[in-house]
Amino acid sequence: SQQGEEDPQALSIQEGENATMNCSYKTSINNLQWYRQNSGRGLVHLILIRSNEREKHSGRLRVTLDTSKKSSSLLITASRAADTASYFCVPTGANSKLTFGKGITLSVRP
Amino acid sequence: EAQVTQNPRYLITVTGKKLTVTCSQNMNHEYMSWYRQDPGLGLRQIYYSMNVEVTDKGDVPEGYKVSRKEKRNFPLILESPSPNQTSLYFCASSLYGPNFGNQPQHFGDGTRLSIL
């Protein structure tokens, strides 16, 4: 299994600003998923991007994928205090193990 | 409502006393898995199951057992718990395993175990 490496480890922004989170991985993938975890709660699936897609949108979320650089980014536009959470990227290849990294801690200040 | 249900949500127990954390999903999912989450270490997979009677080790299986006798249930068993198993545990499920197409994982709300 492979693990996504999120960057930065922590991010603090003002409400209304955009938040950009990055993810890198090492081997080829079928798809890449992003999850959110509010403090002490279960993870919630946000968005999935397939390896043949370059960009995907869902509400205020925009995900990009660059397979040549083995990297992805998650952009949250017009952030809100409720976006405060940890965010995880999960690159998925041809095996049955999902590996989560340490995530990015996003703090959105009111 | 589609959900993954874990019980108990919180448990404080003592070393060596066998315990079981239950996990049940109502979405007819084939793939189920258990994770533990520890500060600074992220989520680590303990065991996973591709379908009924098919289970396999994840990255940190030592000290744990699982069973998958029915599709909806995937209990996590600690035969002789030790303090280093104090952690936050999550059960997750998806329609199929990660290698069969694009499958978002559905997570339970977690079980916080404290082993004294």
pLDDT category at A81 given cuts 50, 70, 90 is very high
Interface check A50 vs B, CB under 8 A: yes
Provide mean pLDDT across the span B43-57.
Answer: 94
Question: Among B21, B32, B43, which would you mutate to test the A interface (most chain A Cβ atoms within 10 Å of its Cβ)?
Answer: B43
Which of A93-102, B33-42, B88-97 has the least mean pLDDT?
Answer: A93-102
Task: Between A25 and B1, name the one with better pLDDT.
Answer: A25
Gap between the Cα atoms of A74 and B68, Å rounded: 35
Interface check B106 vs A, CB under 8 A: yes
Chain A hits for B43, Cβ within 8 Å: 43, 88, 100
Task: Give me the phi and psi of B83, to 5 degrees please.
Answer: -55, -30
Decide if pLDDT at A18 tops 90.
yes
Q: Which residues contact A31 (CB under 8 A, 6 or more apart)?
A: A48, A49, A50, A51, A91, A92, B102
- CA-only gyration radius of chain A, Å: 13
Q: Kindly state the percentage of chain B with pLDDT values over 70.
A: 97
Task: Between A61 and A94, name the one with better pLDDT.
Answer: A61
Where is mean pLDDT largest: B20-24, B35-39, B93-97?
B20-24
- Tell me what pLDDT residue B103 has: 80
Provide mean pLDDT across the span A55-66.
Answer: 97
Preceding peptide of B81 cis, ω within 30°:
no
Chain B hits for A92, Cβ within 8 Å: 98-99
Gap between the Cα atoms of A77 and A15, Å rounded: 10
Q: What is the average pLDDT value for chain A, to the nearest integer? A: 92
Interface of B with A in 12-51 (CB under 8 A): 31, 33, 35, 40-45, 48, 50
Interface check B88 vs A, CB under 8 A: yes
Provide mean pLDDT across the span B49-57.
Answer: 95
Decide if pLDDT at B46 tops 90.
yes
- Tell me what pLDDT residue A103 has: 92
Decide if pLDDT at A71 tops 80.
yes
CB-based contact A41 B43, cutoff 8 Å: no
- Tell me what pLDDT residue A37 has: 96
Preceding peptide of B61 cis, ω within 30°:
no
CB-based contact B99 A30, cutoff 8 Å: yes
- Tell me what pLDDT residue A96 has: 57
CA separation (Å) from B47 to A1, B14, B66, B115?
A: 13, 23, 7, 20
Decide if pLDDT at B43 tops 60.
yes
Cβ atoms < 10 Å from Cβ of A29: 21
